A = this chain, B = another copy of it.
Amino acid sequence: MIDTDSGFVTVLSKRAEAAGWQLRHSAGAVPSEELVAMKLNAVLLDPAVLGDEGWEYLERVCGMLPDLGVIVCTGRSTVAQRVRGLRLGVDDWITKPCHPEEAMARVEAVSRRRRRGRHEVESRPLVAAELEIRPDQFQAFVSGESLDLTKREFELLHLLAGAKGQVLERETIYQRVWGYAMAHGDRSVDVFIRKLRQKLEKRSPNWGYIHTHFGVGYRFDPEPADGLLEEPLVIPEGAPAPAPSSQVVHSSFTTG
């Protein structure tokens, strides 16, 4: 909650506590990195306390944290202002003075819809080919042996595997693993994909798990690595070799 109206803050704090919510309060703008770190469901703020920076701040927060619920609660406003805010990414706009119970209910409504889409498959083990992913251990295994994934690596793998078969765009991946919007030109996702591929191949060399979709993103789908040609490829002359799939780049083998 970002507001300076101490009466309103106090009342809401009490109700929130009574409802079992965790509420943090600030009297001024909170950098979006800190908002990320707090792992909030939603933020309730009065942009008036930010002065001229209000709109800018709203835009920044909504842009960088598209998954965060944003509720504006402020004094008198024009239709144009409200529309501008809502278009900007604000989820609900309440006018002060407002009944704390209604504010609570609206925060709840926004959070509810936000949660709804979230993947519920949080803690169930996931199996794909030789790979076993155990969210409860933050680790993946191949025939009992750990891949020694770091936290980020694991989250990335978990996300991809959870959306098996679907192409996920870099922005989406970043947004869901890192928790905020990807900066233009950021290559972190690529780097982590490489690390994952390395570790995956080390323990499970005969499978390709992560596929690249050029210009789009990545897709998780275990496939036997048939790169190890069992047949000494004899191709009828005249017939051009079966074009290796042009777009889908199979996880390459680290040939050094």
Interface residues of A, Cβ cutoff 8 Å to B: 66-67, 69, 79, 82-83, 86-87, 89-92, 99, 101-102, 104-106, 108-110, 112-119, 121, 136-139, 146, 148-151, 165-167, 172, 176, 213-216, 219, 243, 245-248
CA distance A109 to B91 in the complex (A): 6
**Which of B104, B176, B213, B246 meets A138, CB within 8 Å?**
B213
Contacts of A118 in B (CB 8 A): 117
CA distance A214 to B149 in the complex (A): 10
CA distance A119 to B166 in the complex (A): 11
6 contacts between A and B (CB under 8 A): A90-B109, A91-B113, A114-B116, A115-B117, A137-B219, A139-B167
Closest approach, in angstroms, between the C-beta of A179 and any C-beta of chain B?
13
A79 touches B102 (CB 8 A): yes
Contacts of A114 in B (CB 8 A): 113, 116-117
**Which of B89, B121, B146, B245 meets A245, CB within 8 Å?**
B146
CA distance A67 to B115 in the complex (A): 11
CA distance A138 to B99 in the complex (A): 48
CA distance A216 to B139 in the complex (A): 11
Contacts of A112 in B (CB 8 A): 89
CA distance A14 to B168 in the complex (A): 36
CA distance A172 to B92 in the complex (A): 27
Shortest Cβ-Cβ A-B pairs, 6 listed? A117-B117, A86-B105, A151-B215, A117-B118, A79-B99, A83-B105
B109 touches A117 (CB 8 A): no
A116 touches B67 (CB 8 A): yes
Contacts of A101 in B (CB 8 A): 79, 83
CA distance A67 to B104 in the complex (A): 21
**Which of B87, B91, B108, B246 meets A86, CB within 8 Å?**
B108
B108 touches A110 (CB 8 A): no
B149 touches A166 (CB 8 A): no
